A and B are shown apart, each in its own frame.
Chain A
Amino acid sequence: KAGVTQTPRYLIKTRGQQVTLSCSPISGHRSVSWYQQTPGQGLQFLFEYFSETQRNKGNFPGRFSGRQFSNSRSEMNVSTLELGDSALYLCASGESAGTSGGGGQFFGPGTRLTVL
């Protein structure tokens, strides 16, 4: 099976702009989670979608949003970008945590977002 793919891999934006990141999960996986990784904060959970519904949400402001399509592909959007949004954004897919042997997730390579 093909792995998790994320596009674009690198992105440079300026403050105030908005950005949309895309994630295609492993075929058959219905759960897609998004994480933000920074040197200072580590990996922070943003949100999880399962069968097109947001199932969990982390402690991020409303500028961060996401959605999932019927084919399980997911997008996340960040509006009104701030300098502090510069990070590696990781997408992870899973079958359904309760049936996949304990919840291990499969990560994509990430999108490196730089906000100037």
Chain B
Amino acid sequence: TQLLEQSPQFLSIQEGENLTVYCNSSSVFSSLQWYRQEPGEGPVLLVTVVTGGEVKKLKRLTFQFGDARKDSSLHITAAQPGDTGLYLCAGLANTNAGKSTFGDGTTLTVKP
């Protein structure tokens, strides 16, 4: 069974601060996704990383896939209240199957 552990579970910061969320596993994934979910809605795909060591930037968000494709991180620069939400990482073991393993999520609160 593949597991993804996210840390921290909860994070409360002030507007303008930086933060990093981690997603770790002992298993290798063919790709890894990051999602953001708001209450009462489904997760929204932020990014997919596929290559070990890959770094992707989405405005103030920077995503990194570990060299061994077992872990990933999400870094947010100058957080804003609009970044508040549940951040989920998900790993895909097989690129030919729509079965993702999700981490338990990081609940981020950015206070104005």
A contacts, CB < 8 Å to B: 4, 31-33, 35, 42-45, 48, 50, 55-56, 58, 90, 92, 94, 96-98, 101-110, 112
Q: Chain A interface secondary structure, helix, strand, loop or mixed? A: strand
Which residues of B, 4-52, contact A by the 8 Å Cβ criterion? 30-31, 33, 35, 40-45, 47-50
In the complex where A103-B30, A105-B45 touch, is A31 in contact with B98 (Cβ < 8 A)? yes
Most A Cβ at <10 Å: residue of B42, B45, B50, B88 = B42
Contact pick for B99, options A56, A96, A107, CB 8 Å? A56
B98 touches A105 (CB 8 A): yes
B contacts, CB < 8 Å to A: 30-31, 33, 35, 40-45, 47-50, 88, 90, 92, 94-105
In the complex where A42-B105, A104-B48 touch, is A110 in contact with B98 (Cβ < 8 A)? no
Q: Whole-angstrom distance between the alpha carbons of A62 and B6 in the complex?
A: 30
18 A–B contacts from the bound complex (CB under 8 Å): A42-B105, A44-B102, A45-B102, A48-B98, A55-B97, A55-B99, A56-B99, A92-B42, A97-B92, A97-B97, A102-B50, A103-B31, A103-B33, A103-B48, A103-B92, A103-B100, A107-B45, A108-B42
